[in-house]
A and B are shown apart, each in its own frame.
Chain A
Amino acid sequence: MNDESQRLPVDTDRDVVRVRQLVRTVAVAVKLSLVDQTKIVTAASELARNTLVYGGGGEVEVTRVHNERRAGIRIVFADQGPGIVDLDLALTDGYTTGGGLGLGLSGARRLVDEFDIDTEAGKGTTITIVKWCR
């Protein structure tokens, strides 16, 4: 049982800021704690930047979700970029092909409750994250 989703394009630096702002708004609305709000917004910032820098742009979808016990927020980052060839390597702290710190993907995974990645070389990457209220 899910509410309506909100979608944003991710094609510029400015869009990454918009994603952060939307995620913050929804995180407050589902009543995540302050620390959890901070974690999900930070994770969203890392993954939206990846969508832009590595995926060549794409789209983000933010949804309020519920299960029997809890409310939460689900965010999907989708691009049609080159995909991730070696996923294990990409999820290793400190590994980067883009000149960054190599913490975006691995760090974002630590900040959320659920992390799912679907990628294929040449086809693109879709990452889904969920953060539940405690």
Chain B
Amino acid sequence: MERVPVLKIGDILLVSIQIDMEDQVALQLQEDLADKIVATGTHGVIIDISALDIVDSFVGRTLATIASVSRVLDAETVVVGMRPAVAITLVELGLSLPGIRTALNVELGIAMIGTRDLSGLLDDEDEDEPDQAAVTAP
């Protein structure tokens, strides 16, 4: 079975889903992430779904469960990169993903989590207001 890698970058965990996941792969990701949150003590999880051309109710529910489990483990989850057609379809399907925070891309997701130790990762020149620069970067 394929597996979705969970990467630790600075203070956060980054998951970029690049495959059309079987349901079991999605459930495995849920478990792997919970383990990794505890093992690393991270407070932020970014899940990049920009490569997914659909999100059905199973994947949507898995994302919601991941967000809830993360919260219980003192970490915040931001789902980033949803395609416009996927957003339209999800809402029409009846899934508005309540309880899931979203951002348009990874950079904005990181800014949303407000991780302090990541300013170096975001290629910040402005040392006075690193967080603000991160948010407004194109």
Binding site for B on A (CB under 8 A): 13-14, 16-17, 20-21, 24, 34-35, 37-39, 41-42, 45-46, 49, 93, 100-101, 103-104, 106-108, 110-111
Contact = CB atoms under 8 A, between A and B. Distances in A.
A108 B90 CA distance: 10
Interface string B85-107: 11011101111000000000000
A16 B54 CA distance: 13
A101 B93 CA distance: 11
B32 interface: no
Main secondary structure of the interface of B (DSSP, over half): helix
B123 interface: no
9 contacts: A17-B20, A34-B85, A37-B85, A38-B83, A39-B89, A93-B94, A100-B57, A101-B61, A110-B93
Interface string B103-121: 0000000000000000000
B22 A13 contact: yes
B57 A101 contact: yes
A38 B95 CA distance: 15
